[in-house]
Structure 1
Amino acid sequence: MNRKWRVLALVLALVLIVSSLALATPAPPALSAYDKKVVSRVDGERIVDHVRALSEEIGPRYAGTPEEEAAAEYIRDVMAGYGYDVTVDHFSIGYEYFVKVVELAPTAREFSARLLTNSGHTDEGGITAPLVDCGLGYPEEIPDDVAGKIALIQRGEMTFLAKAQNAAAKGAAGVLIYNNQPGNFSGTMAENPGIPVASLSREDGLLLKDELSRDEVTMNFTARILKELFSPNVIASRPPEAAKNPGGQVVVISAHLDSAGPGANDNASGVAAALELARILKSYPIERELRFLFFGAEERGLLGSEHYVAGLSEEELARIAAVFNLDMVGTSYGDRSVLTAWTVTGERNIVTDCAVAAGARLGSAVLNSRTTRSDHAPFEYVGVPAATFLRLPMEEVYHTPDDTVEKNISAGRLEDSAEIVGAAAYYLARPQGPALTHSAVAKENLRIFREELDRIIEENKEEYADIYVPSL
């Protein structure tokens, strides 16, 4: 195991999966009257109908696209039809770019390229200039005559931004970074280096490098901003009677509405389960506000949930008693699938405890684990109890065109997930629900955890240049 993979194993151990102890599930206790209100009405086939509408009728819901907007409109209409107060909040997720990389001489051909996030841009005609091999992008590898030219740099050993800044410091007009493994890649820079930066596949990069060893290569590199992109968050709430909510507390059920493909399980399943719970809970008595949040641009780095949390005041955050986030809860993959409650540190909170207890009452184990990679994380970072519910093991068709209803959805597992989360959430929202407070100790543990995570990533920048770590 080389150093990179030793460090990667440490980060994964710290960030992704640590605890996987299942609760023993003897004969379940009798369901309460409140459980029965939820369980008796959850309809797996109705949930599948929502999954089909999102993943088939609307289709892939990439962030910033009309399809993502159509998904938000679908959710808005369903929730409004159930009688919830619904708003849609749009937020910027960056820009749509046009990128074109063409070799003019000695061979005329076009390369497939991807513009890195926060890249600089060119005028309409682009940059026409010689290409210069600049190795890995260390200052000593970049020749002084790169000024006004396009730097060809291999990926690895430092961040994309550092490579671009090193080239820009010597006057390079643009940078092409080719992969250090087969295929192309998408990348993000923390800030704009002032020059355009795009990625190439390893194969194309090595082809150009070989050509440079024999001849001068002239390129044209165009990077244009076409338009600003926006994603929607859908917020739907049902307030209780004011007299029955002295603390003004809120119970949240959430899911992300964007996808990285058809997204039947990731995450039409979570949205559909939340919609079914909204239908069931629309008229039951509650003493805490019930709020449903559907986030855009989760696949771009939790942008929707980060935007939502950032817009809340300290008083508004303090009102949120619990967040139940549904993400990939309906897979048909594997002979056995277990609902898992994920928190940032793997520590228990009111959300996981309620879910584990509800699972026990319903005869289903709920595991505990940890990750920062879903929409519970921005809430936990500010001290709000939250957890993401996801089924394990992870299916092989994750983020592929095969994440479809026919290949990756189980009505039974959707129903089971909705019953557990619905029973747990209603336990907190119902009349005579338990007293809830935020934990200062848990928030301090999160701060220590994030400092350790930041230290590891800082020491191994290149290996983790593509890892998204939300800000506190």
Structure 2
Amino acid sequence: MKSGRFGRSISLFIIFFLLMGFSPKNSAFQTMNLIDSPVATQDKDDISIANMKALMEIFQKDGEFSTPETYRALSTHMTAVGHYEERKLYKKAIKHMESFHILLHKHHENKHISNHAANILKEYADALIKKWEAVFDSERVMDHIRELSAGIGPRVAGTEEEKKAAEYLKKQFQSFGYDVSIQEFPINNRVERTLRILTDKNKELPVGAASGSAKTDEHGITAELYYANHGLSGDFSDEAKGKIALVRRGENTFWEKVRNATNAQAAGVIIYDHEESLAPLRPTLNNNSTIPVVGVTKVDGESLREQLSKGSAKANLIIRTHTNQTSQNVVAVKKPSDVTNPEIVYVTAHYDSVPYSPGANDDGSGTAAIVEMARMMKDLPTDKELRFIAFGAEEIGLVGSHYYVDHLPKEDLDRSAIHFQMEMMGAKYEPASYLAFNTVDGEPNIAWDYMNAAFDKWGKDKEKLILFQRGLSDHVPFHNAGITAVCFNMGTANGGLEPEYHTSYDTIENISPERLQFAGDMISTAILDYVADHHPQQTHLKDAS
């Protein structure tokens, strides 16, 4: 039987004989059905650039190339491809191997290489491509993160950006041949807080919610800014009337600042922090204000103050409630053929982000990782049902995953074997070099065994694998439903996260492809080994018809 997309392919037995010094023209080779040997029988670790170049060298010595220029051209191209493989840039390696096909065809068409050598090199090139296509590729992951975080941007639950991200993910899963559905569900009303500086090219600043703030209509308030120092009563003059007061934290309470601004008939208040922080200030008023109030970072507040010192500054401030909001889960399914009641393996992440955060790491990285794993496993022969799910509305209380699990039919719950959740897979933050294995109860489970085996298989330092008791992500509903569940993230040795977490600085510039590759290699290996090894008693093959 011919194997997969290759049809006719060489056996790695060729390489053994080649490296032992035998010639492709040797009679021993003529007696073997080399071209029809299935690639599936080969050890993928032995399919390599080095062995392909060894083939070329033998072909050159035996006159399979009519000119030395042909050998040099093909060998040089393979050396270049090898550099991409060494750097684990598999997407680029595949692209350049496809170019090798074109180069090989050109030389074959010009009769610079024998039919025998051309066929073998073509099949070996295909084998390399197939090998690389089955490897976790951080370059592809970065492409998805870039689209989610920079192309779409913050994906707050219920927004058009979140829906746009869901459509993007749906198309990715569909391109791999999965059966994809969108599961919509209701979420709580969403409060929008927007601050645009009109005199600075409509620049939007991240703002923190002030408890007790008044709301605006959909247009908000548009007014000049007025600097009122600490917001003491003496810091306001008649010029504050109708303007948005910019005040510093300190000297008095948040409420006293707001009350003084209200008495001065200011239209709103922006309070900026007195300490450095990547996240905007979130003032607690302990009272209900009649004017809108927000907080910003020290950096942004001082920038606005500097603008005012040079002239005027104008802003638009909106605080309004959106009702009848919905979010959605993206569910991609691959069912095994000829298997009844297969156990279900879940591989998931959440794709929404907090306000103002591009969510590159939280959780664009996890979402991009499950898309990459879905690509890797699209042709995987297995008796398991694979479900790749991108959850919406995680940041507002695991709403998407709770809805999904709560609406699983009993027969699906009974078949649900294990759940793998991806979170924050690639922060560049130097201390965040540890792969955390998070379970709700803090206990190891069968996935822990497979993760340890993956570290052994790759020869990685097991001190970089740490077990934590932690919920706070979409593995919680699965655990509560009695399904074995784990959540992975890259963090510090004591479970800490990067300083960019939940801020506007969670951008692709702060993502490490090397960390993504490390986490992706370990987790995908554990999942693949589980899928290959674990055979539940309740799975039965259908009777042959």
Once the two structures are TM-superposed, the CA of residue 47 in structure 1 deviates from its matched residue by 1.0
1:402 aligns with 2:505: yes
Structure 1 pair 262–224 and aligned structure 2 pair: CA distance change class (3 A): closer
Residues in 1 aligned to 2:43 and 2:536: alpha-carbon distance in whole angstroms: 20
1:412 aligns with 2:514: yes
In the alignment, which residue of structure 2 is the partner of 1:107? none
Once the two structures are TM-superposed, the CA of residue 38 in structure 1 deviates from its matched residue by 8.6
- Given candidates 38, 44, 55, the residue that maps to 2:138 is 44
CA contact (8 A) 2:214 2:293 kept: no
In the alignment, which residue of structure 1 is the partner of 2:534? 433
Residues in 1 aligned to 2:426 and 2:499: alpha-carbon distance in whole angstroms: 14
Residues in 1 aligned to 2:410 and 2:211: alpha-carbon distance in whole angstroms: 35
Residues in 1 aligned to 2:390 and 2:336: alpha-carbon distance in whole angstroms: 21
Structure 1 pair 75–419 and aligned structure 2 pair: CA distance change class (3 A): same
In the alignment, which residue of structure 1 is the partner of 2:371? 275
Structure 1 pair 269–113 and aligned structure 2 pair: CA distance change class (3 A): closer
User: CA-atom RMSD, angstroms?
Assistant: 4.4
Once the two structures are TM-superposed, the CA of residue 270 in structure 1 deviates from its matched residue by 0.6
In the alignment, which residue of structure 2 is the partner of 1:257? 351
Residues in 2 aligned to 1:275 and 1:351: alpha-carbon distance in whole angstroms: 20
| Higher Cα radius of gyration | 2
CA contact (8 A) 1:38 1:419 kept: no
2:483 counterpart SS class: coil
Higher helix share: 2
1:283 counterpart SS class: coil
- List per-residue Cα deviations over 1:24-74 (Å, max 9, x = no partner): xxxxxxxx9799979962211111111111111111111111111111111
Structure 1 pair 343–98 and aligned structure 2 pair: CA distance change class (3 A): closer
Once the two structures are TM-superposed, the CA of residue 429 in structure 1 deviates from its matched residue by 2.2
Residues in 1 aligned to 2:193 and 2:348: alpha-carbon distance in whole angstroms: 35
CA contact (8 A) 1:289 1:429 kept: no
Residues in 2 aligned to 1:262 and 1:376: alpha-carbon distance in whole angstroms: 23
- List per-residue Cα deviations over 1:4-41 (Å, max 9, x = no partner): xxxxxxxxxxxxxxxxxxxxxxxxxxxx9799979962
CA contact (8 A) 1:323 1:351 kept: no
Structure 1 pair 186–320 and aligned structure 2 pair: CA distance change class (3 A): farther
1:228 counterpart SS class: coil
In the alignment, which residue of structure 2 is the partner of 1:302? 398
- Given candidates 415, 426, 443, the residue that maps to 1:319 is 415
In the alignment, which residue of structure 2 is the partner of 1:72? 166
- List per-residue Cα deviations over 1:425-458 (Å, max 9, x = no partner): 122223x534389xxxxxxxxxxxxxxxxxxxxx
Structure 1 pair 97–324 and aligned structure 2 pair: CA distance change class (3 A): closer
Residues in 2 aligned to 1:311 and 1:121: alpha-carbon distance in whole angstroms: 35
Amino acid at match of 1:385: T
- List per-residue Cα deviations over 1:379-408 (Å, max 9, x = no partner): 1011110110001122121112221122x2
Once the two structures are TM-superposed, the CA of residue 226 in structure 1 deviates from its matched residue by 4.0
- Given candidates 483, 486, 490, the residue that maps to 1:391 is 490
Q: Structure 2 matches for 1:207-356, cutoff 5 A?
A: 226-243=322-339, 245-246=340-341, 248-260=342-354, 261-334=357-430, 337-356=433-452
CA contact (8 A) 1:63 1:296 kept: yes
1:346 counterpart SS class: coil
Residues in 1 aligned to 2:170 and 2:384: alpha-carbon distance in whole angstroms: 22
Q: Which range moved further: 321-330 or 40-49? A: 40-49
Residues in 2 aligned to 1:258 and 1:223: alpha-carbon distance in whole angstroms: 21
Q: Which runs of 5+ in 1 are unaligned?
A: 1-31, 101-111, 125-153, 156-177, 188-195, 202-221, 438-472
Structure 1 pair 115–233 and aligned structure 2 pair: CA distance change class (3 A): farther
Residues in 2 aligned to 1:81 and 1:278: alpha-carbon distance in whole angstroms: 10
Q: Given the two structures, how large is their TM-score scaled by the length of structure 2?
A: 0.51
What percent of counterpart residues are identical? 37
CA contact (8 A) 2:134 2:376 kept: no
CA contact (8 A) 2:366 2:423 kept: yes
Residues in 1 aligned to 2:43 and 2:526: alpha-carbon distance in whole angstroms: 13
2:358 counterpart SS class: coil
Structure 1 pair 262–242 and aligned structure 2 pair: CA distance change class (3 A): same
Amino acid at match of 2:448: T
Q: Structure 2 matches for 1:152-231, cutoff 5 A?
A: 185=282, 226-231=322-327
In the alignment, which residue of structure 1 is the partner of 2:468? 369
Structure 1's consecutive aligned runs of 4 or more residues displaced over 3 angstroms after TM superposition are 32-40, 96-100, 112-117, 119-124, 181-187, 198-201, 222-226, 434-437
1:94 counterpart SS class: coil
Q: Structure 2 matches for 1:59-138, cutoff 5 A?
A: 59-97=153-191, 114=209
CA contact (8 A) 2:439 2:486 kept: yes
Once the two structures are TM-superposed, the CA of residue 336 in structure 1 deviates from its matched residue by 6.1
Once the two structures are TM-superposed, the CA of residue 97 in structure 1 deviates from its matched residue by 4.6
1:63 counterpart SS class: coil
Residues in 2 aligned to 1:113 and 1:348: alpha-carbon distance in whole angstroms: 38
Once the two structures are TM-superposed, the CA of residue 227 in structure 1 deviates from its matched residue by 2.7
Residues in 2 aligned to 1:39 and 1:357: alpha-carbon distance in whole angstroms: 23
Structure 1 pair 35–120 and aligned structure 2 pair: CA distance change class (3 A): farther
In the alignment, which residue of structure 2 is the partner of 1:56? 150
Structure of greater relative contact order (alpha carbons < 8 Å, 6+ residues apart) = 1
2:324 counterpart SS class: strand
Q: Which range moved further: 395-404 or 32-41? A: 32-41
In the alignment, which residue of structure 2 is the partner of 1:25? none
Residues in 1 aligned to 2:44 and 2:405: alpha-carbon distance in whole angstroms: 30
2:157 counterpart SS class: coil
CA contact (8 A) 1:185 1:199 kept: no
Q: Given the two structures, how large is their TM-score scaled by the length of structure 1?
A: 0.59
Once the two structures are TM-superposed, the CA of residue 353 in structure 1 deviates from its matched residue by 2.2
Amino acid at match of 2:487: T
Structure 1 pair 86–116 and aligned structure 2 pair: CA distance change class (3 A): farther
1:378 aligns with 2:480: no
